[in-house]
């Protein structure tokens, strides 16, 4: 059975203020708006085109509610309707919102030349990510010259628990925020949570001792990556990562030198005053 909005672990950690989201206890919370945004988020679950029944299954919302939401969102230009398939897909209105966020992200513009140089020196893919609930999202990805491996598109979502980006973010937040995320992950992953928690605990040890986190084949068995947090002046925490196929960059090389260089790069970017 699909989860309802009220008991979704992803929803509980949606806010960036460090407080759990509790719609049933928040008089200012607009349920109708939240449901409409849930419909839009359903398209980030893998399928680019969905029918009302698909959306109802993903969101846990009643199908009549979904039908009203998709109708309204189509009228507003956030969805478009495919008459042949009788299904919906995201429209340009959503792109406009995403572009407004990315294009106005100062750290992304200032960090690009530093990321390019690091990618060139290490022959690795270098990424800048931000948190979205229990995931991390790419807002920038830079590659070494003439490289096509590990090209991560802007907007790509990664799981927080098993990636170096997610682990770097997890290690940098407050104990209170980390406890809230732990509870949400335990609810989301169920029996798989102890294994994921073990990886996060190892990441905490690495971060406290070395200043970086690793993911050695845990998100993708063929990829080794390192991640470090970046603290922006407004209090936002992002994660800077480098990644490469394991046959190109071994775990030993990543841990022994490259990850340390990445931590230094993060410090250089923070010193720009972003």
Angle made by CA atoms 95, 154, 145, in degrees to the nearest 5: 135
Q: Would you say residue 3 has pLDDT above 60?
A: no
- Rounded-to-integer distance, Cα 63 and Cα 61, Å: 6
* Cut 0.85: pTM above it: yes
- DSSP per-residue letters across 89-144: EE-HHHHHHHHHHHHT-HHHHHHHHHHHHHHHHHT-EEEEEEEETTEEEEEEEE--
Architecture of the 105-272 domain: 2-Layer Sandwich (3.30)
Instruction: Please answer whether residues 63 and 53 qualify as being in contact, where contact means their C-beta atoms are separated by less than 8 angstroms.
Output: yes
Q: How far apart (Å, rounded) are the C-alpha atoms in residues 111 and 241?
A: 12
With 80 as the cut, is the pLDDT of residue 81 above it? yes
Residue 227: closest CA among 184, 258, 253: 258
Q: Coil, strand, or helix at residue 235?
A: coil
Residue 6, pLDDT above cutoff 60 = no
**Residue 164 reports pLDDT greater than 80:** yes
Confidence (pLDDT) at 2: 42
Q: How many other C-beta atoms are found inside a 10 Å radius of the C-beta of residue 121?
A: 12
Q: Tens digits of per-residue pLDDT, 194-220?
A: 999 999 999 999 999 999 999 999 999
DSSP state of 16: S
Distance, CA of 217 to CA of 94 (rounded, Å): 33
Question: For position 89, what pLDDT does the model report?
Answer: 97
The domain limits of the chain are 9-91, 105-272
Q: Which of the two residues, 148 and 27, has the higher pLDDT score?
A: 27
Task: Report the pLDDT value the prediction gives residue 104, as an integer from 0 to 100.
Answer: 87
Q: Is it the case that residue 107 has pLDDT exceeding 50?
A: yes
Predicted local confidence at residue 103, as pLDDT: 86
* Mean pLDDT (the chain, rounded): 92
Nearest-angstrom CA–CA distance, 38 and 61:
9
134 touches 10 (CB < 8 A): yes
Average pLDDT of 140-163? 87
Residue 67 CB neighbours (<10 A) = 15
Using the predicted structure, report yes or no on whether residue 7 has a pLDDT greater than 80.
no
pLDDT digit string, tens, across residues 213-272: 999 999 999 999 999 999 999 999 999 999 999 999 999 999 999 999 999 999 999 999
- When mean pLDDT is compared across 31-35, 145-149, 177-181, the lowest value belongs to 145-149
The CATH class given to the 9-91 domain equals: mainly alpha
Q: By three-state DSSP, how is residue 158 classified?
A: strand
- What's the angle, vertex CA 72, arms to CA 24 and CA 37, rounded to 5? 40
Q: What is the tens place of the pLDDT at every residue in 30-71?
A: 999 999 999 999 998 878 899 999 999 999 999 999 999 999
The number of helix segments (H) and strand segments (E) in the chain equals 11, 9
């Amino acid at each position: 059975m699909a989860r309802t909005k009220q008991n979704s672990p992803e929803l509980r950690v949606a806010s960036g203020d460090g407080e759990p989201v509790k719609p049933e206890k928040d008089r200012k919370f607009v349920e109708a708006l939240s449901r409409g945004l849930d419909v839009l988020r359903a398209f980030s679950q893998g399928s680019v085109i969905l029918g009302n029944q698909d959306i109802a299954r993903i969101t846990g919302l009643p199908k009549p509610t979904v039908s009203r939401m998709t109708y309204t969102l189509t009228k507003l230009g956030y969805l478009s309707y495919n008459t042949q398939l009788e299904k919906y897909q995201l429209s340009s209105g959503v792109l406009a919102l995403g572009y407004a966020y990315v294009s106005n992200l100062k750290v992304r513009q200032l960090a690009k030349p530093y990321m390019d140089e690091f990618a060139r020196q290490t022959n690795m893919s270098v990424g800048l990510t931000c948190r979205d609930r229990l995931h991390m999202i790419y807002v920038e990805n830079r590659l070494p010259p003439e490289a096509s491996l590990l090209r991560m598109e802007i907007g790509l979502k990664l799981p927080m628990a098993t990636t170096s980006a997610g682990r770097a973010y997890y290690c940098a937040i407050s104990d209170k925020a980390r406890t809230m995320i732990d509870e949400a992950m335990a609810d989301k992953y169920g029996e798989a949570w102890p294994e994921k928690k073990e990886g996060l605990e190892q990441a905490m040890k690495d971060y406290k001792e070395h200043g970086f986190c690793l993911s050695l084949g845990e998100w993708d068995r063929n990829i080794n990556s390192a991640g470090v947090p970046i603290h922006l002046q407004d209090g936002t925490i992002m994660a800077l990562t480098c990644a490469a196929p394991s046959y190109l960059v071994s775990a030993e090389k990543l841990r022994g030198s490259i990850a340390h260089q990445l931590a230094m790069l993060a410090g250089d970017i923070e010193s720009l005053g972003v």
